[in-house]
Amino acid sequence: MERPLKFPAGFVWGCATSALQIEGATREDGRGESVWDAFCRDRPERFFERATPEPACDHYHRWAEDVALMAELGLNGYRLSISWPRLFPRGGGRINDKGASFYDRLFDALLEAGIEPNVTLYHWDLPAKFGRWGGWENPDTCKRFAEYAHACLRRYGDRVRLWSTLNEPSWSVLNGYVTGLHPPCKSEDFAGALRAADGLLRGHALACAAAHEERGKAAVGIVLNMSPIRPATGSTADERAARLADGMLNRWFSEAVLDGRFPSDMKALYTGDGFLPKGIEETAKLLRRAPLDFLGVNYYYPHHASANAPHTSFHLNTSGRAEEDCEFSIAGLFRFVKNKRGRFTAWGWEIDPDGLFDLLMRVHQSHPGLPLYVTENGIGRIEKLEGGTVDDGERIDFIRAHLDAVHRAISAGAAVRGYYLWSLMDNFSWINGYKKRYGLLFVDRKTLKRYKKRSAFWFRDAARANAV
C-alpha cells in the first residue's frame, strides 16, 4: 500500500474515555453511587490489586489540563460518557446542578479547543438504586433512562451533536448475567441476560426518541462491540458454533438496532430453552421507530469458535500474566479457542487488524452508506515511565495497522467517519484495575501527573496530517 494513507476531509481523530474510568470524585458535589462503586466496596477481592474508581485519573478536577492536552495532541474529536449518578444521584427526580455544571464547563472548553464531543449516555455506571431494584431487568429502568436522556439533550443539546445511547450492551449483559464478572454478578442466568438485554434495547429506543424530540439536529447512535467470530476449523460443526456465538453476542443486538428485528434462529433457540422474554416483538416495534443516525463500533479482537464445548466455564485474564489463559465456553453450544497462529497482548487478546476491516465491511455490506465510527480500539500494556515518557512502539504499530484497516474499508466504500483510540489516558480498567495501561498519556498512579508517551506524538502527527 502506498504511503501516506490520506483520510477523507473531516475525518475524526479522537480518543475515548468513560466517566467511571477517569473522573474520580465519586462522592463529591452530590454524586450518587453507581453499581460499580457498590461492587468495588462490597467485593474488593474481585478487582486486580483491589483497585477502585476513586480517584481514577481525577479528571473531575483536572479536566481543563486534560482538554489542553487533547488540543496539543491534535484531536478534533473526543468520546466521553456522562455519569448518570452524577446528574441524578438517586436515579431520577431533580437534576443535580453541581454535577451537571461539570459537563457544561467541559463541553464549552472542548468546543473552544475545536474538539467535537461524542457523548455516550450509559457506559455501565447504573445508579446503584436501580441496581437494587433489578437493574435493566426492571421495566422501570428503561423509562428512567429515557427521562435521563431527555434531561441531557435539553441541557447539552445546544453544544453536543453526536449522542450514543449505550456502550456495548452485549458485553455488559454477558458479563453481568453469564460470566458473573460485572455487576449484578449473576452466572449462567440466560433468562435474566435476555430480560436485561431487552431492557437495554428498549432503553436505547426510548432514548433515541427522546433525543430526536428534544433536539431535532442531534445525531443518535449506539456503540456495539461486534467482534468477528470465525469457525475454529472448516468443519460444519464449528461453522454452526461460530454462527451461534455470532447470534448470541453480535446479531441479537446489531439486527435489533439496525433492522428492528431479532434473528429468527436465535429466537427459536431461546424459545426452546424457555428464555425468550415476553414483549420482545413490542421491543422490535419500538426499535423500528428509532433508526440509527450512525453506528459506533468497538473492536479489540476476534473470536474463534469450536463446537467442542463439553463444559460451561469462563475466565478472564486480569493480571497480564501470559500463563493466565482466557476461557469462554457454554456447554453444548460453543467454546472460544486460542488461534495458534495469532499474536496476543499480555492479557491474551489477539491482535488482528483484519478483524476490524471485516467488521466494518460487514456493516457496510448490510447497511451501505450508514455513517460508522470506530468508537474504541486500542491495546492494553504493562508500562513504565522512563525519562519522562514511555517507549510504546508496540502501540504505534497497533494503531497504524488498525488505521490501515479503516483506510482499506473506506476505500472499499464504507462510510467510516472517524476513529477514537481507547484511550486518552491510562485509566481504571474495570476488574483489571490500573496495571493495564491504554493511554496516549501515561498517568503516574502516585501523583496523577500525565506524561505523553511516544504514541502521543505519533498520533498528533497523524491527526495533523490527516494521514498515516
Residues in touch with ligand BGP (CB under 6 A) = 18, 21, 167-168, 171, 225, 298, 376, 380, 422, 429-430, 432, 436
Active site residue 376: yes
Tell me which residue of 63, 165, 174 sits closest to 118, measured CA to CA.
165
Residue number of the CB atom closest to ligand BGP: 429
- Cα gap 4→23, rounded to integer Å: 37
DSSP character for 276? P
Smallest separation (angstroms) from ligand BGP to the CB of 423: 7
Tell me which residue of 413, 410, 417, 402 sits closest to 371, measured CA to CA.
417
Cα separation values, 13 from 65, 70, 107, 417, 460, Å:
19, 11, 17, 9, 9
Length of the chain: 468
DSSP 27-68: TSTT---BHHHHHHHH-GGGSGGG--SSSTT-HHHHHHHHHH
Smallest separation (angstroms) from ligand BGP to the CB of 463: 21
Question: Annotated catalytic residue: which of 23, 137, 376, 383?
Answer: 376
Smallest separation (angstroms) from ligand BGP to the CB of 373: 14
Active site residue 147: no
Question: 190-214 and 264-273 are packed helices; what angle lies between their axes, rounded to 10 degrees?
Answer: 130
Tell me which residue of 100, 117, 125, 285 sits closest to 209, measured CA to CA.
285
Smallest separation (angstroms) from ligand BGP to the CB of 31: 19
Contact by Cβ (8 Å): 164, 207: no
Smallest separation (angstroms) from ligand BGP to the CB of 118: 14
The three three-digit cell numbers of residue 287, written as one number: 426499535
Contact by Cβ (8 Å): 428, 26: no
Which strands, in side-by-side order, build the sheet including 303-306?
A: 229-231, 303-306, 334-336, 327-330, 313-315
Q: Which is nearer to ligand BGP, 317 or 329 (CB)?
A: 317
Q: Which is nearer to ligand BGP, 5 or 16 (CB)?
A: 16
Contact by Cβ (8 Å): 14, 75: yes
Q: Any idea what the Cα angle at residue 121 is, between residues 119 and 125, rounded to 5°? A: 125
Q: Which is nearer to ligand BGP, 18 or 76 (CB)?
A: 18
Smallest separation (angstroms) from ligand BGP to the CB of 223: 8
Smallest separation (angstroms) from ligand BGP to the CB of 439: 11
Question: Annotated catalytic residue: which of 168, 255, 327, 383?
Answer: 168
Contact by Cβ (8 Å): 275, 191: yes
Q: Which residues are catalytic?
A: 168, 376
